[in-house]
Structure 1
Amino acid sequence: MSSVNPARTFAVRILKQVLDGAYAAPLLDQALNAKISSSDAGLMTHLVYGTLRHAQTLEKALLPLLNKKPQRETWVILLLGAFEKLILETPPHAVVNEYTEIAKKHSPRLGGLVNAVLRKVQLPEETTYSLPDWLLEEYKKAYPEQWEAVVEDLLQPSPLWLWLSDKGVRQLEEEEALVEPGIGQIDKVVLSRSLRKTKAYQKGQAQPINPASYSVIEALGEVMNREVLDLAGGTGIKAAFLAKKGARVTSVDLDPRKAEQGRQNAERLGQKVTFKTADLRSPENLGTYSKVLLDAPCTGSGTLRTHPEIKLRITPEYAQEMSDLQKTLLEESSKFVADGGELVYSVCSVLPQESEEVIVEFLKNHPEFQAQAPDLSVPSVKTAVGTRTVPVNGVDGFFVSRLVKVQ
């Protein structure tokens, strides 16, 4: 029996867990700590993310060759093999041989099935952007002039975006990383090793963040010596950057584990942030602030290039559930805004029910607030009540609205 490239073996294992509900990024991080060469690690990552990005296209290619969708393990092997053959254009004989050998480890019969299907599989004739039909329509609504470029960009590998200090740039380049100017304060980087193993990361001179996410921080304007309340703050990345800009930040999230991660990350970055745990649907009295950020939980529909597994999971019903939650969180968050202060609402989603519709309903009930569409440092389009970033060239899709309390 021929040996199988370990990258493919790892990819099968990880992709199966992702299709069972896990997220790819932490699983890949764990695998990178295993004894695997850098070239195999790169192939493994490319196989998992690439297969997820093209999943709908691959499914359309495979299903006509099957009587029914096979069990999860076999389906994962077929998806990965089809991705290599059809998208990566790996030599077909190599694809068939490798994935047949993987299947044989489970059952000789499965080896025969995988061999037969991968020999025959071809790309569908119709053009597909590998998105669920309803989600493709939402992207067309969000970007009527640019939708085709946007959805094509979602199929490309995601760049590594890093905030870097000057010292961090030097440290990475000493470790043979390629650092290219990106957008605003965020650089595009190609590493020679895992980020967490670099001196720049360990010494707090590097932090992963998408330029669109960083632009949300910029939407708060001048924060030097200001008290800032960061709501639904998650692991506190934005809170740490606000502190770096001179703000005194209180970050609040429901999950105590995220708060602990936030404390550790802020400490690594050399920043002081106060972390609190609270349910924002019925929060304690946190006082009033002139600057409030609500980076609300959302479907993540604007991050499909970075987290392609999301498009396999979200539904219109789930989007509406998130919209209802966002309306509640925005209502509660507004109570902490001082007169003359402002609340920045953001979501990493392109769906109108999570963006414009949330703001419009809020304004109907709160005439004391006015909505502004902030200028952002990334490609974006403005609407009546906010600004939507354009997810091209690796930028995520965010919606940002500045709500100013005028009386």
Structure 2
Amino acid sequence: MVLSSDGKKPFRQQKPAGSRPAKPGLQVRAAASKILAAVVERKLPLDGALDNEHGNPAYKALNDGDRALVRAILNTTLRHLPRIEAAVSSLLDSPLPEGARALHYVLTVAAAQILYLDVPDHAAVDLAVEQANNDPRSRRFAKLVNAVLRRMGREKQEILASIATISPMPTWFFERLETAYGKDAATAIAGSQLQPAAIDLTVKSDPKGWAERLNGIVLPTGGVRLAAFEGSIPSLEGFDDGAWWVQDAAASIPAQLFGDLTGKRVADLCAAPGGKTAQLILAGGTVTAVEQSANRIKRLRSNLERLGLSAETIATDLTKYEPVELFDAILLDAPCSSTGTTRRHPDVLWTKGPEEIEKLAGLQERLLRHALTLLKPDGHIVFSNCSLDPSEGEAVIARILADTSDVERVAIEPSRWPGLEMAITELGEFRTTPDMLHVPAGFASGLDGFYAAILRHVA
């Protein structure tokens, strides 16, 4: 207690409002709202924002448990974003003013928890109201936040039913899928992104044995799919021994298209993080791994070291790479929009756009044309990427074949891929989509969207 200015009446000294301890969970929601805004407005990749060392400061300030909750909120929100925004809009008498973008993300994050996460409604509502009150720009909307979210909780089932037919993908990308695959297939692909990706392993040998040891199943690709489990990947049997590595089933396909590589000189271009490099080594090839980023080369070397495998590694700009000797086989897993990986990276469709897809398609064509100059006569090159957009796959190959007389397509035989025959196109190219590969109950179905084609340098 201290005396008032007249020296008579005592009063209790007040603490500044900002010094009050935050409500439990408030920092988590604040971090999620800020990062969501950065992803959608500034096209910031989610992996970068959630990096433990270099990520968003609000995220780095949290403990491990709170970080996990932020990740869950953001992944869920981004998977369902168009539906969530439609749900919020349906409960507003009029759109929020342009100056209320921060409030928009507060409402979106809270709505994601109410509609799709196992979070008590009252917690989502109370913390969103607290966020609004703590922001001078949003304070006048605090009662609106309370009313909208409480109503959403009361009418949850009706709201979910009303938004169920809205595509969870951005309109621009769904329309591209519809043009490429048809409406039914596009709808199936969009629906598949609502489920998190499975954990797939590529094993050095004995997939059946590893499936039994790790409570998994053997996939048509020869890999192992794990059931849901609690714990960390490095804690699993075989990790320290380098018996396997994590690699989506679809990502394991391109390297397998070469078959036996014994005695052959092989290049893995754009090689990091090294899963495909490891496959090429195990297939018998003498492998040179090329990657432009020195940091990514370090990661590749570290991964190969854990697996007990070795390859020549070169950090250089691929377009300037000129080997002393040409290669018998080349794998070019080209940089792409990654739109086939939205089950594990739901931010992709919100950080990329049509312009970037076209730009990347041009880059892929330049890289492939240069890679062909590194191939011996009668050598084979596999071109692949994890985009669902044909402009980054089929169209690139079509242009190469149209004006390159000494290159031909080698058709992939569906009979060699039992369980994935539907992924082989009429032209004999691989085109997986996330709605393919249905597996037994207890395991997540699906795989990444991938494209792969084999070309031969005609002697």
- Quote the Cα distance in structure 1 between the aligned partners of 2:67 and 2:411: 42
TM-superposed deviation, 1:47: 1.8
Alignment correspondent of 2:149: 118
Alignment correspondent of 1:389: 432
Distance 1:166 1:99, change over 3 A: farther
TM-superposed deviation, 1:80: 1.6
Deviations 1:217-265 (A, max 9, x none): 1112212332210112232221122213332111112111111111111
TM-superposed deviation, 1:148: 2.5
- Quote the Cα distance in structure 2 between the aligned partners of 1:101 and 1:332: 57
- Quote the Cα distance in structure 2 between the aligned partners of 1:110 and 1:205: 56
Question: Which region of structure 1 is more displaced relative to structure 2, 188-197 or 162-171?
Answer: 162-171
Distance 1:105 1:205, change over 3 A: farther
Contact 1:291/1:341, CA 8 A, preserved across alignment: yes
Matched to 1:391, the amino acid is: P
TM-superposed deviation, 1:362: 0.4
Alignment correspondent of 1:324: 362
Alignment correspondent of 1:86: 115
Count of aligned positions: 403
Contact 1:167/1:205, CA 8 A, preserved across alignment: no
- Quote the Cα distance in structure 2 between the aligned partners of 1:165 and 1:249: 16
- Quote the Cα distance in structure 2 between the aligned partners of 1:109 and 1:159: 44
Question: Which region of structure 1 is more displaced relative to structure 2, 163-172 or 354-363?
Answer: 163-172
Alignment correspondent of 1:46: 72
Contact 2:333/2:385, CA 8 A, preserved across alignment: yes
The answer as to 2:192 corresponding to 1:149 is no
Alignment correspondent of 1:208: 246
Question: Which region of structure 1 is more displaced relative to structure 2, 103-112 or 300-309?
Answer: 103-112
Q: How does 1:208-247 map to 2 (within 5 A)?
A: 208-247=246-285
Contact 2:256/2:279, CA 8 A, preserved across alignment: no
Distance 1:45 1:167, change over 3 A: farther
Aligned-residue RMSD, C-alpha:
3.3
Distance 1:226 1:25, change over 3 A: same
Question: Which region of structure 1 is more displaced relative to structure 2, 381-390 or 67-76?
Answer: 67-76
TM-superposed deviation, 1:168: 11
Distance 1:386 1:171, change over 3 A: closer
Give the match's secondary structure for 1:114. Answer: helix
Distance 1:170 1:218, change over 3 A: closer
Alignment correspondent of 2:197: 158
Contact 1:168/1:200, CA 8 A, preserved across alignment: no
TM-score by length of 1: 0.86
Alignment correspondent of 2:292: 254
Q: How does 1:158-197 map to 2 (within 5 A)?
A: 158-164=197-203, 178-183=215-220, 184-196=222-234
TM-superposed deviation, 1:112: 3.9
Contact 1:205/1:269, CA 8 A, preserved across alignment: yes
Q: Decide which of 353, 359, 369 is 2:391's aligned counterpart.
A: 353
Q: Which runs of 5+ in 1 are unaligned?
A: none
- Quote the Cα distance in structure 2 between the aligned partners of 1:103 and 1:202: 48
- Quote the Cα distance in structure 2 between the aligned partners of 1:29 and 1:340: 44
- Quote the Cα distance in structure 2 between the aligned partners of 1:225 and 1:395: 32
TM-score by length of 2: 0.77
Deviations 1:51-76 (A, max 9, x none): 11111222233346342356565333
Alignment correspondent of 2:55: none
Distance 1:286 1:313, change over 3 A: farther
Matched to 2:64, the amino acid is: I
Deviations 1:357-394 (A, max 9, x none): 11111012212211134245745141426220121233
Give the match's secondary structure for 1:281. Answer: helix
TM-superposed deviation, 1:163: 2.7
Alignment correspondent of 2:83: 57
Question: Which region of structure 1 is more displaced relative to structure 2, 135-144 or 320-329?
Answer: 135-144
- Quote the Cα distance in structure 1 between the aligned partners of 2:47 and 2:237: 21
TM-superposed deviation, 1:308: 1.0
Q: Decide which of 58, 64, 67 is 1:36's aligned counterpart.
A: 64
Q: Which runs of 5+ in 2 are unaligned?
A: 1-21, 53-58, 153-158, 436-444
- Quote the Cα distance in structure 2 between the aligned partners of 1:406 and 1:293: 17
TM-superposed deviation, 1:173: 9.3
Give the match's secondary structure for 2:239. Answer: helix
- Quote the Cα distance in structure 2 between the aligned partners of 1:308 and 1:240: 27
